């Protein structure tokens, strides 16, 4: 579904991603781990056509070259982005924030307000509240729901559990994986490191200083504490 081939990305003259190769098959959940500054968010921004960075190499989505397209066109091709900083509209209501996520009229639309509220009933209860009145966990639910309103086939999630209490983070990931299973949506999940997220992955990559230093079975990483320490400084 998605292939990154020899991606090199730059912030100005600073070279930040070095020859990244990454593949997401249809229906897969791919994890991208690494310490702060490893280049994880830059991979997602490169895929989405957000600037900076400036990106060189091939990004293929369903066989079509994406590199060079503006972000809104990439989104309209079926890729959704859940940013780390959520980017909700603080002075719009929950309902208005969700409606903003609708793409241009589509045939066979799968997602609308009723579907979002079915997965995140708390958003229904809060639908008239302003974005600025919500907790961090509620805002993250809203961000995921808004992304789903665009009917994506591939979702990029940038540290979706960052800053959330463990129970809330676990609930959110359970809902995300339920969505994936019921709609066969492909995903890239970026985290610094999370043993809980490893349970949901089909394959994982570890970045360091803009390079892939590990690619393989997430169970290998979960079960090998020495490897976790070597690659990520944990364990």
CATH number at residue 17: 3.40.50.300
Q: 196-208: per-residue pLDDT in tens?
A: 788 889 999 999 9
Return d(Cα 80, Cα 186) in angstroms, integer: 10
> What rounded mean pLDDT belongs to the chain?
92
**Residue 153 in this model has a pLDDT that exceeds 90:** yes
Q: Residue 93 gets which letter from DSSP?
A: B
Q: How far apart are CA 8 and CA 25, in angstroms?
A: 22
Q: Could you tell me the pTM of the whole model?
A: 0.92
pLDDT on residue 56? 95
Q: Is pLDDT of 119 > 90?
A: yes
Question: What three-state secondary structure class fits 188?
Answer: strand
Range of the domain at 209: 2-232
For the record, the structure tokens of 217 come out as: 């079975």
> Mean pLDDT, to the nearest integer, of 11-32?
96
Res 235 pLDDT > 70: no
Q: Is residue 107 very low, low, confident or very high in pLDDT (cuts 50, 70, 90)?
A: low
* CA neighbours closer than 13 Å in the CB half-sphere of residue 44: 24
**pLDDT tops 60 at residue 108:** yes
At 228 the pLDDT is 87
Per-residue pLDDT, 106:
62
User: Kindly report the CA angle at 231 between 226 and 235, in degrees rounded to 5?
Assistant: 40
pLDDT at 154: 97
The total of structural domains in the chain comes to 1
């Amino acid at each position: 579904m998605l292939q990154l081939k020899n991606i090199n990305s730059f912030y100005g003259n600073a070279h930040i991603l070095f020859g990244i190769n990454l593949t997401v098959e249809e229906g897969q959940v791919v994890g991208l781990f690494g310490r702060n500054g490893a280049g994880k968010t830059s991979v997602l921004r490169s895929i989405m056509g957000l600037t900076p960075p400036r990106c060189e190499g091939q990004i293929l989505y369903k066989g079509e070259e994406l590199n060079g397209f503006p972000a809104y066109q990439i989104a309209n091709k079926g890729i959704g982005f859940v940013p780390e900083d959520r980017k909700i509209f603080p002075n719009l209501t929950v309902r208005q924030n969700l409606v903003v996520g609708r793409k241009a009229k589509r045939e066979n639309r799968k997602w609308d307000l009723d579907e979002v509220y079915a997965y995140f009933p708390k958003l229904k209860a809060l639908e008239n509240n302003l974005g600025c009145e919500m907790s961090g966990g509620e805002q993250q639910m809203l961000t995921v729901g808004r992304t789903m309103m665009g009917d994506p086939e591939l979702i990029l999630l940038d540290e979706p559990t960052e800053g959330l209490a463990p129970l809330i983070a676990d609930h959110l990931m359970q809902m995300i994986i339920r969505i994936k299973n019921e709609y066969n949506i492909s995903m890239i999940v970026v985290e610094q490191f999370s043993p809980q997220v490893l349970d949901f992955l089909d394959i994982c990559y570890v970045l360091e200083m803009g390079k892939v230093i590990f690619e393989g079975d997430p169970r290998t990483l979960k079960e090998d504490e020495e490897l976790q320490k070597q690659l990520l400084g944990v364990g």
